[in-house]
């Protein structure tokens, strides 16, 4: 168990495509455990490995209504709805700021769980938003990239650090 430092927006690891995981070995299991501990510690909804400086395709997330954490290795979007919504969004790598990001209303994602089994997740609303945000991280894209201008970022003064961010 370890709490890992979450890197910030100026770190190049957040802007490069992460590598696929070839073997889900003990080092990957340890990374997953540490990512879960870190996400819980900072009250995040989701965390992608590049955010802890590891350029691998591993994400974890747990929505407020979820009883368990979901682990996705090498996630890929296989389907997306035609319609989208503007959604309020924040990232653990940019604490204190939020912005309105256009996200597909529903998506289907496939990937492997930590046992290596191929799984598919279909989500809408917050789940669809989290899946899109995390797959963006895997592809070196951050939510700020979706804003027309950095001026569209909104500074949050009184929010607990990380709370509700992805």
Half-sphere exposure of 118 (CA within 13 A, CB side): 2
Binding-site string for Ni ion from residue 80 to residue 119, where x marks contact by CB under 5 A and - marks none: -----------x----------------------------
Least distance from C-beta 25 to Ni ion, angstroms? 26
When the beta carbons of 6 and 73 are compared against Ni ion, the nearer one is 6
Residue 86 near residue 102, CB atoms below 8 Å: yes
Q: Is 40 left (phi over 0), alpha (psi -120 to 50) or beta?
A: alpha
SS3 67: coil
Binding-site string for Ni ion from residue 147 to residue 166, where x marks contact by CB under 5 A and - marks none: -------------------x
DSSP 124: E
When the beta carbons of 3 and 118 are compared against Ni ion, the nearer one is 3
When the beta carbons of 12 and 116 are compared against Ni ion, the nearer one is 12
Least distance from C-beta 26 to Ni ion, angstroms? 26
Least distance from C-beta 163 to Ni ion, angstroms? 13
Looking at the DSSP bridge assignments, the partners of residue 112 are 73, 118
Tokens at 107, concatenated: 């998506």
Residue nearest to Ni ion (CB): 91
Residues forming the active site: 134
Least distance from C-beta 1 to Ni ion, angstroms? 22
Strands (E), 27-161: 46-48, 58-61, 70-80, 84-89, 97-104, 106-112, 118-124, 154-155
Residues that contact Ni ion, how many (by CB under 5 A): 2
- Residues lying near Ni ion in the complex (CB under 5 A) are found at 91, 166
């Amino acid at each position: 168990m370890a709490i890992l430092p979450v890197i910030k927006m100026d770190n190049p690891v957040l802007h490069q495509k992460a590598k696929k995981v070839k073997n889900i070995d003990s080092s990957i299991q340890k990374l997953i455990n540490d990512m879960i501990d870190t996400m819980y510690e900072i009250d995040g909804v989701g965390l992608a490995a590049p955010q802890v400086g590891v350029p691998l395709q591993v994400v974890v997330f747990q929505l407020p209504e979820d009883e368990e954490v979901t682990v996705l290795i090498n996630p890929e979007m296989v389907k997306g709805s035609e319609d989208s919504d503007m959604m309020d969004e924040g990232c653990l790598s940019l604490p204190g700021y939020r912005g309105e990001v256009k996200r597909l209303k529903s998506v289907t994602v496939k990937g492997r769980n930590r046992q290596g089994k191929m799984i598919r997740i279909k989500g809408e609303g917050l789940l669809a938003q989290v899946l899109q945000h995390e797959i963006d991280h895997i592809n070196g894209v951050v939510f700020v990239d979706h804003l027309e201008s950095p001026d569209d970022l909104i500074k949050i003064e009184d929010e607990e650090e990380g709370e509700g961010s992805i």
